[in-house]
Amino acid sequence: MTAELRVLARKSIGRKPGPMRDKPASVSPHPALPQLDHDLVETIMAGMKKPDRAKFWRDHVEIVGTAFMERGLSDETVQAILAEHFEQVRARNRARASDARKGKYPICFDAPPEIGTELRIGKRLARLERVEPITRKSDGAASFLLFWRIGDRLATSGLKGAGVCWVQGGDDA
């Protein structure tokens, strides 16, 4: 395995890109090259423990890189193809991880939903009654407070949460 392939094989899917990391030259692959299946690789790696993922990635890069080099591609081209493959697999990994986190929250909105929106929170059906803009104390960012009617009680939540806070002292906030 060449030094360039060795460097690519040691990259970690979970590492964040840094300003000092070298990017290989952008080279468009030859049309006769087979497409690398980024989704398949990410799906295989998703079911593995971290050490097994690292070993799989090293083996995968070595096998694919060697196959491309045997076809007569230059080191620079192979490095660019594998770097692009790495970025695509990393993007799919991050998207899958983000989707998995979203599934943990019954209340998960990017923007305030429309009044009247209904959703299940636990075993109860909640109906959105009103939305109020707020400024978060923790960081001063603008957000929204959602007021939900659950049965005959009023509860509040943010745009994202695992549950609600019940309003004390009656029907109104």
Q: What is the pLDDT of residue 10?
A: 53
Residues 40 and 119 grouped into a single domain: no
pTM of the prediction? Answer: 0.45
Instruction: With respect to residue 28, please indicate whether it lies within any of the assigned structural domains.
Output: yes
Instruction: With respect to residue 53, please indicate whether it lies within any of the assigned structural domains.
Output: yes
Instruction: With respect to residue 171, please indicate whether it lies within any of the assigned structural domains.
Output: no
Instruction: With respect to residue 48, please indicate whether it lies within any of the assigned structural domains.
Output: yes
* Structure tokens belonging to residue 150: 């659950």
- 41 C-beta neighbours (distance < 10 Å), count: 21
Name the CA radius of gyration of the chain, rounded: 24
Residues 81 and 150 grouped into a single domain: no
- 22 C-beta neighbours (distance < 10 Å), count: 6
Please state the domain count of the chain. Answer: 2
Residues 68 and 13 grouped into a single domain: yes
Q: What is the pLDDT of residue 113?
A: 92
Give the range of the structural domain holding residue 143, as residue numbers without chain letter.
107-166
Strands (E), 30-152: 107-108, 118-121, 124-135, 142-150
Which residue, of 52, 70, 102, is where some domain finishes? 102
Which residue, of 102, 129, 157, is where some domain finishes? 102
Residues 72 and 139 grouped into a single domain: no
What type of residue sits at position 26? Answer: S
Q: What residues pair up with 157 in beta bridges, in sequence order?
A: 146
Instruction: With respect to residue 173, please indicate whether it lies within any of the assigned structural domains.
Output: no
Residues 14 and 30 grouped into a single domain: yes
Q: What is the pLDDT of residue 148?
A: 95
Longest Cα–Cα distance of the chain, Å, equals 76
Instruction: Give residues with Cβ within 8 angstroms of 50, minimum separation 6.
Output: 14
Helix (H) / strand (E) containing 155: strand 153-157
Helix (H) / strand (E) containing 101: helix 75-102
Q: Are 104 and 162 in contact (CB under 8 A)?
A: yes
Q: Tens-digit pLDDT profile for the chain (173 aa)?
A: 555 555 555 554 444 444 444 554 444 544 545 567 778 888 888 888 888 888 888 888 888 888 888 888 888 888 888 888 888 888 888 888 777 666 677 788 889 999 999 988 878 899 999 999 999 888 998 999 999 999 999 999 999 888 899 998 755 54
